[in-house]
């Protein structure tokens, strides 16, 4: 969904000059400022240790800024508990094993909605919807930690979706999923985005970014080094290279073929095929 920021509605989540250091002195973020608008589909990318997870945890209050402010729905997040913030910003942990603690999948997914005070019937409805979105309805009675990594990952995402937050922050949700599972997960997220949910996807897979996100935030050493439309980000691969990111094959190929008249502004394999067909057709 294309966001439509209006004058009367500010960003749904924002960071203003945020510095963050961990207790051992590691400076993880330096003066990070960003706006997240309702309905956006954002990719948060960057090398290992660049600060992606730190940003995610700051947005839902698990970490508090050393300096600067985090705003959620225009209010200073410092005044609110993690539990209160979780109503707006849902966070699916990078490591699902750190997130799962109940004895069955059904309990796990119900935990959030119940805490938020949804009536029983409503909570069950939300949990069931999340389970079916992640296609894990059949695992309801299994112990979460006994599942395969892919299924654990999906339980962890479902447990956040079930809380129905307006912003979903997913920390590397496709890691450990096979290609088919990852595609299915991304389809589910795109569906939620169509319904108006804001998606912040942390990932190392540039192909997913190119195919699904409309905006890219690139992190390097605790700084936001690039914040722009996905198409723009991939049209200048140098900036990405500096952050250790390599565009997906289709985009690289388009750049190589630009001398032959192929537009370097493609994002997906389909777009590349179309471009190539156009140039090819013109030649014949």
Partner 1 sequence: MGCQNMTGFVDLYSEGGTFLHRIDARVKIVAVLFLSVLAFLLSNVYSLTLLLAFIFILLFLARASLSRTWFALRFVIRFMVLIVVLWPIFDPSGTPVWATFGPVKITEPAVWRGVTSAVRVGCLACVWYILMFTTSQRDLVRALVKMGLRFDFGLALAISLRFLPTFSATIDSIKDAERARGMELDKGSLLKRSRNYVAILVPTIVSALRSADTLSLALHSRAYGARADRTYLREPKMRRQDAAALSVVIALLVVPVFFKFVLGVPL
Ligand X SMILES: Nc1ncnc2c1ncn2[C@@H]1O[C@H](COP(=O)(O)OP(=O)(O)OP(=O)(O)O)[C@@H](O)[C@H]1O
Q: Is 99 in the site for Mg ion (CB under 5 A)?
A: no
> To the nearest whole angstrom, how small is the minimum distance from the Cβ of residue 175 to Mg ion?
10
Q: Which is nearer to ligand X, 54 or 235 (CB)?
A: 54
Q: Give, as ranges, the residues between 15 and 44 that touch ligand X (CB under 6 A).
A: 22, 24, 26, 28
Among the listed ranges 46-54, 68-76, 185-193, 228-236, the one in contact with ligand X (CB under 6 A) is: 46-54
Helices 120-133/179-194 angle, 10° precision: 130
Q: Is 82 in the site for partner 1 (CB under 8 A)?
A: yes
Contact 59, 89 (CB under 8 A): yes
Q: Is 238 in the site for ligand X (CB under 6 A)?
A: no
Q: Is 273 in the site for partner 1 (CB under 8 A)?
A: no
Exactly one of 38, 73, 87, 153 binds partner 1 (CB under 8 A); which one?
87
- Sign of the torsion formed by the C-alpha atoms of 43, 48, 53 and 55: negative
Q: Is 48 in the site for ligand X (CB under 6 A)?
A: yes
* Region at 61 (left for phi over 0; alpha for psi -120 to 50; beta for the rest): left
Give which of 184, 122, 124 is closest to 150, Cα–Cα.
Answer: 184
3-state secondary structure (DSSP) of residue 217: strand
Which x/- pattern over 97-116 shows residues binding ligand X (rule: CB under 6 A)? --------------------
Contact 275, 262 (CB under 8 A): yes
Q: Is 53 in the site for Mg ion (CB under 5 A)?
A: yes
Q: Which is nearer to ligand X, 45 or 163 (CB)?
A: 45
Contact 3, 39 (CB under 8 A): yes
> To the nearest whole angstrom, how small is the minimum distance from the Cβ of residue 22 to partner 1?
9
> To the nearest whole angstrom, how small is the minimum distance from the Cβ of residue 55 to Mg ion?
9
Look up residue 77 and give its two tokens: 């997040």
Q: Which is nearer to Mg ion, 86 or 94 (CB)?
A: 94
Sheet holding 223-229, edge to edge: 89-92, 167-171, 198-202, 41-46, 215-220, 223-229
Q: Is 3 in the site for ligand X (CB under 6 A)?
A: no
Exactly one of 60, 94, 99, 156 binds Mg ion (CB under 5 A); which one?
94
> To the nearest whole angstrom, how small is the minimum distance from the Cβ of residue 135 to partner 1?
21
CB proximity list for 176: less than 8 A, separation 6 or greater:
149, 150, 153
Q: Which residues bind Mg ion (CB under 5 A)?
A: 52-53, 94
């Amino acid at each position: 969904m294309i966001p439509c920021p209006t004058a009367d509605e500010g960003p749904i989540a924002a960071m203003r000059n945020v510095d963050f250091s961990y207790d051992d002195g590691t400076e993880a973020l330096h003066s990070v400022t960003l706006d997240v608008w309702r309905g956006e589909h954002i990719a948060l990318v960057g090398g290992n240790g660049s600060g992606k997870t730190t940003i995610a945890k700051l947005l839902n209050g698990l970490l508090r800024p050393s300096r600067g402010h985090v705003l959620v729905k225009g209010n200073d997040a410092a005044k609110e508990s993690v539990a209160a913030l979780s109503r707006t910003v849902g966070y699916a942990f990078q490591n699902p094993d750190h997130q799962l603690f109940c004895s069955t999948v059904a309990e796990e997914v119900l935990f959030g909605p119940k805490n938020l005070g949804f009536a029983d019937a409503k909570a069950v409805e939300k949990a069931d919807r999340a389970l079916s979105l992640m296609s894990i309805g059949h695992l309801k009675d299994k112990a979460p930690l006994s599942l395969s990594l892919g299924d654990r990952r999906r339980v962890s995402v479902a447990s956040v979706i079930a809380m129905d937050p307006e912003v979903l922050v997913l920390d590397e949700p496709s890691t450990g999923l096979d290609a088919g599972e990852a595609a299915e997960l991304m389809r589910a997220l795109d569906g939620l985005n169509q319904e108006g949910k804001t998606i912040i996807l942390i990932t190392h897979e540039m192909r997913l970014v190119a195919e699904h996100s409309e905006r890219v935030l690139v992190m390097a050493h605790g700084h936001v080094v690039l914040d722009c439309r996905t198409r723009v980000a991939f049209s200048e691969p140098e900036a990405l290279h500096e952050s250790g990111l390599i565009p997906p094959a289709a985009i690289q190929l388009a750049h190589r073929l630009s001398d032959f008249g192929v537009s370097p502004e493609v994002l997906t394999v389909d777009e590349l095929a179309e471009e190539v067909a156009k140039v090819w057709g013109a030649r014949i």
